[in-house]
A and B are shown apart, each in its own frame.
Chain A
Amino acid sequence: MKFILTSALFAALSFCAVLFFNGCTPADTETSSEDYPSKTITLICPWAAGGGTDRLSRYMADQLQRELGKPCVVVNRTGGSGVVGHSAGALAKPDGHTITMITSELNSMHWMGITDLTYENFDPLLQLNADAAAIIVRSDSEWNSVSDFLDAARTNPGKLTMSGTATGGVWDLARAGFQLATDIPVNAVRWIPAKGAAPSIVELLGGHIDAVCCSVPEAISQIEAGQLKALCVMSENRLKDYPDIPTVKEDGIDWIGVGWRGLGMPQKTPQAILDKVVAACSKIVRSPEYESFMKKNGFAIKIREGMEFGTFLKEQDDQWKIVVKAAGYAK
């Protein structure tokens, strides 16, 4: 008898729990652009609370709330190298009440066979930033330019070690593409997988690896302190905040490797709603507050709106397809 009672208690409790959490997504209502937004907007961040992408998500959510007049909450759906959050965002109801903070992984992970999800599952809103990859070494290193580094990689194939992200992460692909552009086989430099730029910088400082590929702001405190130096950045032009670092283009290497962040909505979201949100975002990213927020966080601003962002996503997707294949990461 007691057992039956207690099992009933269990069942009732679990039922309540399920009800409670399912209840978090309120009943659907038809929305047109005039009464949009009609309820709380969810901004899905595929990366963990406390990280850089999360801070940007929270800032945008706060600003969108002011612009659109309805609460906007950030939900961190982490895991699977970003697959979980991106999928949750792409599969949400296309009524404009779910926005996703999409990141560069969207352009590479489907080529690696981790997911079927591509950039086409999203209607692009706008790009918020772009951080160019840089090659960073210890300041006591004998390499002083990108050609020194390339010579070393050419003459000692398989000897140099680099790190910066997990295998197949954005910085790994950036350096792989860079090597392809300079006719150095991808496996001529051994990539040491790491949990992110920070732990690889520790490894570099400790002399356990030869170089790190990551964005300049991620290593700026060590560069400013004279412990590390950046050999090159893989951007179109020199970075506004760090004009001393040459681009790889100046050495005649035709390669651009950037990590980016942007906002997207599930595909088939009504055009009127897209326009309304793009207009709101466009106003936010042109404010001086946005500029100072990005500066504090060390993110480089790069804005592309609507279709322009869509074209960029297409170009990026084509670029990473080649790199992923050549690096041997393709499924």
Chain B
Amino acid sequence: MISDLLQIHVLIPWLLGMVFGVFVGATPGLTATMAVALIVPVSFYMPDPNTGLAMIIGVSFTAIFAGDIPATYLRIPGTPASAAATLDGHQLAKQGKGGYSLLMDLFCSCIGGLVGVALLMMIAPQLARFALRFSSYEYFWLAIFGLSMSAVVSTGNTRRGLLAAAFGMILATVGLDVVSGAQRFTFGNLELMSGLGFIPVMIGLFGVSEVIRSTMAGFQHNGENLDHNKKENSPLAAVLAIWKNKLTVAKSSIAGTLIGALPGAGADIAAWAAYGIEQRSSKKGQKFGTGEEAGVIAPTSANNAAVSGAWIPALVFGIPGDAVTAIVLGAMMMYEIKPGPLIFEQNPEQVGSIFLIALLTQLLLLPCGYLGLKTFGWLLKLPRSIIMVAVLVFSVIGSYSLRNSIFDVYVMAVFGIVGYFLEAKRVPLAPLILGLILGPMVEENFRTGLIKSEGSLLTFLTRPLCALLLVLLVLAFLSPKLLKLLKGDTNNHDRITS
């Protein structure tokens, strides 16, 4: 079977697709979903379904990794799942270790993806059955968890972080209310009915505000070299750092796969949850956000694992877990592959080749991703003024092309200015984006949960999985204090005995 895939006529479109995924994912303003939507019509021209699927699966994994490249170098996330890389990854780049950070990122993406695919191959049906136990109540707590993680990890700035998250949630209320169909804050504007898209807002907050900042500073960092630390930027150093944090990689990959396997949650929550869990449980928790290796490793292992995880409900139920798998499932129907409960019995060869494609994609990610990060690092040697013009152009294209709406370009511009001022007042931007993405998830699940429970709030606390999530949430908030308490105890103890 593997020999069928390792044919020139399969490998060439596959690799080309992956390089395309790197380009789209790494371009601020163009997202992973867009990369997949663009490649699907092309894949229909491929002679056999496996070639087409290889292209599509390849693109989805590389684009999620590549989103971390501009997040690390420019502090502009390429996709929403890479927002966590703007923290420690970018700090490392500022210390001249951008290449080091991205190599760790690349290796961990590959490992996270492999762990995800391995779990998919071994226990997909069991995981899918577990995911079925999640309903509105559990998703509500999960969204709250992701949201609080993004806020509490905003280094030493929890209050501002929570404020930003709340602001994001308020912005998320604009548009048609899904539960009642009522219009909120639309002012009769047609475009506002669909709400503020998080992509234009994200591009504005991170990309355009960065352009404004650079412009105001008069492009001082001309030809800044974010890789100048030559010794540190070797693959060997990255491998050693990962080995040191092997537990983090394992933990984050598994958590990422589990979250990805839930039909109602995706790579963005996975990345933040992993980052949060790591920061709250690590001894070096306070150092997170200043360029900690574990702060790079945790979210990136989790987001690629979540992309694999999203395949679990897709294959087992034929139900997409996120926007990317929704497009892929549509493409599979065109190939007359019917994912769903029967595919494992009726078409095991097809399932086998999908697994194999997903596995090989992780390995092919290494050369393609390496090419991407080298190219990007090289492009960054251009004068800052030119880079910023390119960022602005792609930001406009990315915002416009999402819904073919010039309104989204205005939204992007407005949030560029908003982002600039928030940043000047040291308000973290990542919680704001998460608030916008997870706000609707919190609200919808809370309200549908109330409809299901006939208005009882108790159900949100008494379901076993809810209680578990709640305990995790409380632990995450209190863990630094608990750790300190435990440490304090042992110190006293030491004193007494000595």
Contacts and interface: CB of A to CB of B under 8 A. Distances in A.
B340 interface: yes
A77 B340 CA distance: 30
Contacts of A222: 317-318, 340-341
A76 B40 CA distance: 15
A206 B190 contact: no
Contacts of B334: 55, 296-297
A202 B131 CA distance: 9
A201 interface: yes
Interface stretch (A13-21, A234-242, A302-310): A13-21
B135 A206 contact: yes
A221 interface: yes
A21 B320 CA distance: 33
Nearest to A117: B190
Given A79-B191, A80-B193, A81-B176, A192 B400 contact: no
A81 B190 CA distance: 11
A192 B452 contact: yes
Given A79-B403, A166-B178, A161 B396 contact: no
B327 A84 contact: no
Q: Which of B176, B319, B330 has the most CB of A within 10 A?
A: B319
Contacts of A93: none
B264 interface: yes
Interface stretch (A46-54, A125-133, A248-256, A257-265): A46-54
Contacts of A298: 333
Interface in A39-60: 48-52, 54-55, 58
A51 B340 contact: no
A78 interface: yes
A77 B403 CA distance: 5
A81 B176 CA distance: 8
Contacts of A142: none
Contacts of B323: 48, 50
B348 interface: no
Given A221-B339, A296-B334, A192 B392 contact: no
Interface string A1-24: 011001001100110011001000
Interface string A86-116: 0100000000000000000000000010110
Nearest to B399: A17
Interface string A186-223: 00001011110011011101111100000000000110
A221 B326 contact: no
A83 B336 CA distance: 32
B376 interface: no
The main secondary structure of chain B at its interface with chain A is helix
A167 interface: yes
Interface residues of B, number: 60
Contacts of A6: 215-216, 218
A296 B416 CA distance: 44
Given A17-B409, A198-B319, A225-B340, A84 B132 contact: no
Given A84-B194, A205-B132, A225 B183 contact: no
Contacts of A296: 333-334, 336
Contacts of B175: 79-80
B179 A221 contact: no
B367 interface: no
Contact of B133 (A78, A158, A206): A206
A76 B195 CA distance: 16
A13 B392 contact: yes
Interface residues of A, number: 60
Contacts of B135: 203, 206, 208
A193 B218 contact: no
Contacts of B451: 161, 190, 192-193
Nearest to A52: B330
B263 interface: yes
A202 B319 contact: yes
Contact of B178 (A77, A161, A195, A221): A195
B358 interface: no
B102 to A, nearest CB: 29
B313 interface: yes
Contact of A77 (B317, B392, B405, B448): B405
Contacts of B409: 17, 21
Contact of B181 (A18, A168, A199): A168
Contacts of B167: none
Given A84-B194, A199-B319, A50 B327 contact: yes
A166 B326 contact: no
Nearest to A293: B334
Contact of A167 (B132, B179, B317): B179
Contacts of A78: 194, 403
Interface string A138-157: 00000000000000000000
B341 A227 contact: yes
Contact of A221 (B190, B327, B340): B340
A36 interface: no
B193 A167 contact: no
Closest 7 CB pairs of A and B: A79-B194, A221-B340, A80-B193, A50-B327, A225-B341, A206-B132, A208-B135
15 contacts: A6-B216, A9-B215, A75-B404, A79-B175, A80-B176, A80-B194, A81-B193, A83-B190, A115-B190, A166-B181, A168-B181, A202-B131, A206-B132, A206-B135, A225-B342
Interface of B: 36-37, 40-41, 131-136, 175-176, 178-181, 183, 190-191, 193-195, 215-216, 218, 263-264, 313, 317-320, 323, 326-327, 330, 333-334, 336, 338-342, 389, 392-393, 396, 400, 403-406, 409, 413, 444, 448, 451-452, 454
Given A49-B327, A50-B326, 9 more contacts: A17-B409, A50-B36, A55-B334, A76-B404, A80-B190, A81-B176, A114-B183, A166-B181, A205-B317
